[in-house]
Amino acid sequence: MLFDLDESQKMLKETVRELSERHIKPRASEIDEKEEYPEDIFQLLKEHELLGIFLPEEYHGAGMGFLGGCIVIEEIARFCSNSPLFIVLNMLSSRIIQLSGNQEQKDQYLKGLAKGELRGSYALTEPHAGSDAGNIRTRASLEGGEWVLNGTKCYCSGPDKADFITVAAKTDFNAGTKGITYFIVPTNTDGFSIGRHEKKMGMKGISTCILNFENVAIPKENQIGELNKGFKSAMIGFNQMRPAIGARAVGLAQGCFDYAKNYSKEREAFGTSISNFQAIQFMLADMFMQIEASRLLVHKAASLVDTGQIGKENARYFSTAKTFAADMAMKVAIDSIQILGGAGYMKDHPLERFMRDAKQIQIVEGTSQIQRLIIARNLLDS
C-alpha cells in the first residue's frame, strides 16, 4: 500500500489549493454571512473541469476516481465548507445512477453533471424516517406507463438549484427495505414543489429544504435499476460517499489547524509568543496527529472504492473513515478556538464558522452513532 499520492494526484492537490486560496478563501465568510448560493464558485469549478473529477472519462469526467474527488474536496474545504458541496452533490446524485442505471441514464445524467450542464440532488430522508430508511412513506405507484410519486422528503441539500433529484420511494409498502426503488425526478415536473428552506447553524450557502411530491408523474424509464432493489444500491452508494464526507472533515480541520498554528506564533503573552507554551504545543501536536490519521483513513476508504472493493465486508472501513474524521474535525475546531482565546469566539476570525460547519459533518450521511453501529455489526458478523 502506498502512503503518498502519485504525481498526477500531487499536481491536482497543488492546483486546487492555489485555486481555492485565490478565489474561494476570500468568499467563504461572505457566503456564510449572507447565506448566499455561491454560483461564482460553481462556475469556477466548471471552468476548471473539477465537477466530474471522480467520474470516468467516458462520461466526460477526469477519471481520477473517488480518491481524486477526496483530494479536491479536502483542498476546497480548508477554506470553505459550502463550496465542496458542488462535488459532493454530484457524487451523491450520481451514485445510484452509476451503480444501477441503464446506459441512457448514465449518458444523460453523468455527462450532464460532469460538464456542469446539470445539477442534481438526492432525497431519502423523511420527517419520520432518517437512519431508518425502511420506514419511508413516500410512495410510487405504476399507473399506465408512468410512475406517480406522493410523499414528503426533508433535509435535502441543494434541491432549489437542481435540475433533477434521485428519489427513494416505496414500491412495495409492506416490504420495508426490500420495497424501495429509486427514481429520477426532474424538478420542473408538475406536482413537485420545494417547501420550507431550513434555518441552519452552519453550511448556509447551500439550501436545505423540504420537498413535496403531489401526484408527481414521471415516465416509466425514469426508474433506476430493478424494482424494489433500491435499498441495496443505496447502501453501496453510501459506502462510496463516506470517504468524501470524511474528506470534507479533514479539509475543515486542516484549515482550523493552519489558522490556529499561525495565530499562536503571532500572539504574545507574558513577553513571548504563545506558541512557546507547552499547553499550546501539546494541543497543536494532538491536532496534527488526528488530522494525519484521518487523512490516511479517508484515502484508504477512497482507494477501496476505486478498486471496486465496495461490498459489505468493507463497510467498517468506510464508516470508520467518516466517523473518525467527523469527530476529529469537531474537536480540532473547538481546540483551535481555544488557542485563539476570546478572539476565536469572534467573527473576525473563521474558526467559529468552521465549528458551526463541523457539527453538520457528524450528522449528515449517517450520524457518528449510526456509523458506530455499522462498524460494530460489521465486525461481529465477520
Q: Which residues are catalytic?
A: 365
Q: CA distances (Å), 153 to each of 86, 121, 233, 369, in order?
A: 21, 12, 19, 22
DSSP notation for 100-148: H--HHHIIIIIHHHHTTS--EEEE--BTTBSS-GGG---EEEEETTEEE
Q: Is the dihedral of CA 117, 60, 364, 79 positive or negative?
A: negative
| 235 vs 241: CA distance, rounded Å | 10
Q: Residues 336, 341, 346, 347: is their CA dihedral positive or negative?
A: negative
CA–CA gap between residue 21 and residue 83 (Å, rounded): 12
User: Which phi and psi angles does 378 have, rounded to 5°?
Assistant: -65, -40
Partner residues linked to 169 by β-bridges: 181
Asked whether the beta carbons of 202 and 81 are under 8 A apart, the reply is yes
d(CA 263, CA 79): 16
Between the alpha carbon of residue 126 and those of residues 154, 226, 307, the distances in Å are 5, 22, 33
CA distances to 29, 31, 44, 82 from 35, rounded to whole Å, are 10, 6, 19, 10
